[in-house]
Amino acid sequence: MRDAVKTLAQQRYRETFGRYYEEFAIGDLYEHRPGRTISETDNTWFSLLTMNTHPLHFDREYAAHSEFGQLLVASPLTLSIVVGMSVSDVSQKAKANLGWKEIRLTAPVFCGDTLYAETEVLEKRESASRPGDGIVTVKTTGRNQDGKAVCDFVRSMLVPKRGHGVDDAANY
């Protein structure tokens, strides 16, 4: 478990997020809440912002003639939301993302779907070159409102040990 607050002074507290290296345990599963419902506006803006011009993401009439019969959420948006849902619990204290692998988009996501995410700790080890840090590898899975897995990926992060994070600075 992690501490939820940092005591700053008598009767003064600061909410904390993320985990130190010591707080990760292989096999632990973290459920991330709240969920996130994806709107058509989210999908259109993301598609335009990233210059993704595939009409399946923003041309309703075109999408209606596809095998899906409706607009598809751009897969990088699905990935971004699932990653974002995990940050406050898993990687908010991380110093760096070290790598991603096995990114899979396992089912389509449609406008109006609500995503939920969960993360399993796969591995952890102390850093050989940075004694104040460790390397944590996790697998995060995104599911829709029906519990169907729509996305999963494995990522590794450089996570500080207690007393070595940015949050630990005396004046922060």
- Asked if 129 contacts 65 with a C-beta cutoff of 8 angstroms, the reply is no
pLDDT at 139: 98
pLDDT tens sequence for the chain (172 residues): 556 667 778 888 777 788 999 999 999 999 999 999 999 999 999 999 999 999 999 999 999 999 999 999 999 999 999 999 999 999 999 999 999 999 999 999 999 999 999 999 999 999 999 999 999 999 999 999 999 999 999 999 999 999 898 888 766 5
pLDDT at 159: 97
The residue type at 87: V
pLDDT at 14: 74
pLDDT at 170: 62
pLDDT at 96: 96
Length of the chain: 172
Q: Is the dihedral of CA 93, 117, 78, 111 positive or negative?
A: negative
SS (H, E, C) the chain: CCCCEEEEECCEEEECCCCCHHHCCCCCEEEEEEEEECCHHHHHHHHHHCCCCCHHHCCHHHHHCCCCCCCECCHHHHHHHHHHHHHHHHHCCCCEEEEEEEEECCCCCECCCEEEEEEEEEEEEECCCCCCEEEEEEEEEEECCCCCEEEEEEEEEEEECCCCCHHHCCCC
Could you tell me the two tokens for 60? Answer: 């309703």
Rounded alpha-carbon distances, angstroms, from residue 129 to 72, 93, 121, 132: 44, 19, 22, 9
Pairwise CA distance, residues 2 & 22, whole Å: 9
